[in-house]
Structure 1
Amino acid sequence: MNDRIGRLRDVTINLAHGGGGRAMRDLIEDVFVIAFDNPALASLEDQAVFPLADLARLGDRLAFTTDSYVVDPLFFPGGDIGTLAVSGTVNDLAMSGAKPLFLSCGMVIEEGLAVDVLRRVAASMQRVAIEAGVSIVTGDTKVVERGCADKLFINTAGIGVVPPGVNISARRAQAGDVVIVNGFLGDHGAAILVARQQLALQADIASDCAPLGSLVDAMLGACKDIHCMRDATRGGVATVLNEFAVSSGVAIRIQENALPIREEVKGACEILGLDPLYLANEGKLVALVPPYAAQRVLAAMHAHPAGTRAAIIGEVVAEPTGIVVLHTVFGGQRIVDMLTGEQLPRIC
């Protein structure tokens, strides 16, 4: 092991930790190298290098994505900014059917952040990375002056490999497709409200933050020809369905009485005038599946820990194109538009 490991003695982050010198190297080695612990990262090169032959054995296309995370507070029921950073990027890869493999991690740290907070976040990232079967193999650290950032921002980019025969796209929705979600909607948005003490609830609500790669594997095992799939993060299920409808030139009809939403989340939305269809999720996906395979896919989801409450919530129809319609419990209908503005700031 590198003889510099364990030399970080600072209690809080200072500007020297982003200055490129000894203090920065001590921070990287003592916090990130120890936490993420893999040979590609431990070499501390400016890049991670992988044999193309190893990737080609897994599939015929490369999937690449990036996202940034700015949640407030950093720690909330069911997760923290670190679990979000890994789960979110893993899920973006998985929604294409790709097997997620490698992540990068870029940290923008505000001067004065406690080093122990950074250690907790790094530990969370590694825990979720192990669960998702990915490695955090390269990264970057920047420190900004106090007041120039809100504690900690994280960017993660990810690489995965798409297996042959899988073609998931927002443009592939077809009339007759069945709309499936993998469980309760809106938990993450409600959990953030509770964590900010903006809402006093008797029951605990935890974020649904989780990596979904293995769930997608199970779904593809039941039906390789899943047409569309996307995780319902900012903008919620309503925004995802609108994206599918517009991209494919179809209409989507969903049933209010089929939506899996906790009573606590419904109550929170009623108090604040929010619609749970627009609340952020961090462990929920929306899939459009051919009707002949819908029950097989649903059964595969129910057998997976991340899909035990999976439900069919609607169907795709031909017209009117680009529209999502909700059939209410009272027998009426209303158009569900794409989210305009922002329901909750700093949600992910």
Structure 2
Amino acid sequence: MNMSAKPSRLRDARVTLAHGGGGRAMRDLIEEVFTDVFQPPGSEDQARLMDAALQAPGARLAFTTDSFVVTPVEFPGGDIGKLAVCGTVNDLAVGGARPLWLSAAFIIEEGTEIALLRRIVASMAREAAAAGVRIVTGDTKVVGRGACDTVFVTTSGVGVIPAGRDMAAEDIREGDVVLVNGVLGDHGATILAARGDLALSTPLESDCQSLNHLIEAVLAAAPGTRAARDATRGGLASTLNEMAEAAGVTVTLEEEALPLRAEVKGMCEILGLDPLYLANEGTLALFVPADQAQAALEAMQAMDAGRTAAIVGRAGPRGPVPVVLRTAFGGQRIVDMLVGEQLPRIC
């Protein structure tokens, strides 16, 4: 037994409306579940921050925000807390920013197990440490039963874009090579299986991971990298459509080059889904000049987050559609934007 551990002041096993009422119960919940783990700097209503990177001439701030409402909140390979950290870190990193600080706001349903909250918060702290960022401020609200689905998390992130670094979809040029850092569709397929609505048994795990260290390695090896985007909702297909439209090019994908697990392919065939539209939470698409593509590929493959990286396509002159797929049989098919939702509540 650890005799130095502080006794818990929380007497309830589940969250009650009193934990959102602004009194002692709320203070105990915030201190024991959140601030004792995140250890934000100071105790004011705002985080007061400084970093040497902000002082560098030509450095720019990057800022992003996102909300996470996944069901179930815990799933193979992650949970809503890890998802929130990874999603926000990746949104900064794909723009060339080095993530520094995150905020985290929680909307918690009355009746949620406090033990579940502790697991989510611990997961967030581990992922933040792995990504090299700090969770420096946040908020909690408790709502009545049925007003939300267990817990919703909103995170915002601040990072610094070093001078001279400029990545944007508008910079993509004809001849640029398209790379992905990992297999496609694992997150969407994992969430679908985890819901238990279908009689599916699979060893799949979400690809949920922070990609800022991988992107830094790619930029060191291939400094001419044009643009990157994490392929979350709408999958690789929607991501490439957005990027191709912004750049005024057509992207041609090679079906045989796409990294897909047999389990994801099989699930999609059974359910009539297209894996190119399944969500990813640790997979990105990169556009790199052709003469730097091999260097970028090797840089990714040298890291755990890019072991299965592959060159999957190329940008060409603008055509009638933004993205096409060259099939294994030598034909072509249009890869359009996702219309509607294949799967609900995946991030």
- TM-score (structure 1 length as normaliser): 0.95
1:188-267 map, 5 Å: 188-267=187-266
| Aligned residue pairs, count | 343
Which residue number in structure 2 is paired with residue 177 of structure 1?
Answer: 176
Which structure 2 residue ranges, 5 or more long, are not aligned?
A: 1-5
Shift of 1:22: 1.4
Which residue number in structure 1 is paired with residue 45 of structure 2?
Answer: 46
Which residue number in structure 1 is paired with residue 277 of structure 2?
Answer: 278
Deviations 1:246-298 (A, max 9, x none): 11111100000000000000000000100000000000000000111000000
Shift of 1:100: 0.5
Distance 1:308 1:53, change over 3 A: closer
1:1-348 map, 5 Å: 6-38=8-40, 40=41, 43-51=42-50, 53-57=52-56, 60-320=59-319, 323-348=322-347
**Partners of 1:45 and 1:5 in 2: CA distance:** 25
Runs of 4+ in 1 over 6 A off after TM superposition: none
Contact 1:97 1:162 (C-alpha < 8 Å) held by counterparts = yes
**Corresponding letter in the other structure for 2:38:** F
Q: 2:240 aligns to what SS in structure 1? A: helix
Shift of 1:55: 2.2
**Corresponding letter in the other structure for 2:63:** F
**Partners of 2:33 and 2:257 in 1: CA distance:** 45
Shift of 1:53: 4.9
Shift of 1:203: 3.9
Deviations 1:62-89 (A, max 9, x none): 1100000000001111001011010000
**Partners of 1:215 and 1:222 in 2: CA distance:** 11
**Partners of 2:176 and 2:11 in 1: CA distance:** 58
**Partners of 1:296 and 1:305 in 2: CA distance:** 16
Distance 1:5 1:108, change over 3 A: farther
Distance 1:198 1:329, change over 3 A: farther
**Corresponding letter in the other structure for 1:18:** G
Shift of 1:114: 0.7
Q: 1:171 aligns to what SS in structure 2? A: helix
**Partners of 2:57 and 2:209 in 1: CA distance:** 23
Deviations 1:23-62 (A, max 9, x none): 1111110000112124x1xx22111011365522496011
**Partners of 1:276 and 1:59 in 2: CA distance:** 41
Distance 1:300 1:114, change over 3 A: same
**Partners of 1:167 and 1:20 in 2: CA distance:** 44
**Partners of 2:89 and 2:145 in 1: CA distance:** 31
Contact 1:169 1:228 (C-alpha < 8 Å) held by counterparts = yes
Deviations 1:286-335 (A, max 9, x none): 00001110000001001011001000000000120651000011111011
Contact 1:16 1:24 (C-alpha < 8 Å) held by counterparts = yes
Deviations 1:85-107 (A, max 9, x none): 10000000000111110000000
**Partners of 1:47 and 1:54 in 2: CA distance:** 20
Distance 1:322 1:166, change over 3 A: farther
Q: 1:140 aligns to what SS in structure 2? A: strand
Which residue number in structure 1 is paired with residue 3 of structure 2?
Answer: none
Shift of 1:166: 1.2
**Partners of 1:283 and 1:307 in 2: CA distance:** 10
**Partners of 1:51 and 1:311 in 2: CA distance:** 38
Q: 2:241 aligns to what SS in structure 1? A: helix
**What is the root-mean-square deviation of aligned Cα atoms in Å?**
1.6
Which structure 1 residue ranges, 5 or more long, are not aligned?
A: none
Deviations 1:197-248 (A, max 9, x none): 2344454000000000100010001122211100000000001100011111
Q: 2:121 aligns to what SS in structure 1? A: helix
